[in-house]
Amino acid sequence: MSKKRFLITALVLVVLASLVYLQVRAWKKFDWHRFWVATHNTNKFYIVAGVALVYADYILRALRWKILLRPVCEAKTSDLVAPTMIGFTGLALLGRPGEFIRPYLIARKVNLSMSSQLAVWTVERIFDTGAFALIMAVNILWSRETLSKLPGFANSPRRHFLGYEVSSFTFFEAFAIALFLGVVMVALVAVKIRKNPSIASKFFVRLFGRISPKVGHAVGKRVVAFGEGLNTVKDLASFFQLSGLSILIWVFIGFAYMAVTHAYSIHRLSQMTLSSVFLLTAASVVGGVLQLPVVGGGSQLATIGMLRGVFNLSPELATSCGIMLWLTTFMSVTPAGLAMARSEHVSITQMEEASIQEEEKFLEED
């Protein structure tokens, strides 16, 4: 492990340990028997349905990557499923360093350069972020009456802000509007970058170069890659296909979360609606920024915190559901991914090292 990776892992570990400590202190008492009873009594059919939805999601992701490859080659969706699932397995087992396994494997599969697939990966992230932000914004604004009645919002004290008395849910609404405006702003910036990536790159190099020349150079390379990657959107029809698929991917994830919550059939979790479940998805996405290999961490803590604070569930039930959601939606790919890696004669750890080297080589190029 490099010194940089060690320091990042250590920092994430410290943050997660602090969050766990604060959460345990807030609970004061935890009934393990109640935790195991809640977990044991889950409806296994719903859990399997959740896993099936997640696996279908990987096929949709492979199809989306195929569309992004259209300008340079005609790939088959079936050929991209294995690299996709192996890549997400690497992400689950190795943490963020495994993020680049997928573009590396796809580059090998379709005989293209790693840099070209990094560009595709960058554009894919933008579509993912945009689709998720749009869904969250519409969900919060459309279902505001239902969501505002959730225990954590309804029972929270009203606060004074800029001379006005506002509720906790008001901040959520403001967050939704900010998300929507953020999507629009990113779309406008993307259009500008696509027209002239080199000029946009110079601007970001100057901007971030004030922090560090190395950071400025890396950001500049990313901007160029993003601008070039946008050319993978072949035409307007492809744009709508990519947008529709990206939204569908997150809808599938939402239904997977819903399947897991409904597996707790004897608890209030079984009554959760899709709009409520998307709040858990948002918490998981935000918490996933802090993640350790294999054990995760941030995603579970954020989801458990949402179940406790907003849905007012017991610590035992919130912990059980938070862990089950993480296992179903994030770790369930591991058995199939490892089996595919074996059939493809691929070593995930070797692929991680090779993909990182290729990514660093790309950033160091002038």
Q: What is the pLDDT of residues 195-245, one digit of tens each?
A: 777 787 777 777 777 777 777 777 777 777 667 666 777 778 888 999 999
Rounded to 5 degrees, what angle do the CA atoms 355, 359, 362 make?
140
Rounded to 5 degrees, what angle do the CA atoms 259, 284, 302 make?
115
- Average of per-residue pLDDT across 268-274: 83
- Does residue 355 belong to any structural domain of this protein? yes
Work out the percent of the chain whose per-residue pLDDT is above 70. 81
Q: How confident is the model at residue 309 (pLDDT cuts 50, 70, 90)?
A: confident
Greater model confidence, 240 or 354: 240
- Does residue 34 belong to any structural domain of this protein? no
- Does residue 4 belong to any structural domain of this protein? no
Predicted confidence (pLDDT) at residue 4 exceeds the cutoff of 80: no
- Does residue 225 belong to any structural domain of this protein? yes
Mean pLDDT computed over every residue of the chain: 80
- Does residue 83 belong to any structural domain of this protein? yes
The pLDDT value given to residue 137: 83
- Does residue 331 belong to any structural domain of this protein? yes
Q: How confident is the model at residue 294 (pLDDT cuts 50, 70, 90)?
A: very low
Pairing between strand 164-166 and 296-297?
A: unpaired
- Average of per-residue pLDDT across 340-352: 80
Predicted confidence (pLDDT) at residue 319 exceeds the cutoff of 80: yes
**Ramachandran angles phi, psi of 298, nearest 5°:** -60, -40
Instruction: Give me the number of domains the chain comprises.
Output: 1
The pLDDT value given to residue 1: 47
Residues in the chain: 366
- Average of per-residue pLDDT across 293-301: 62
Domain residues for the domain of 225 are 42-364
d(CA 124, CA 242): 9
- Does residue 265 belong to any structural domain of this protein? yes
- Does residue 208 belong to any structural domain of this protein? yes
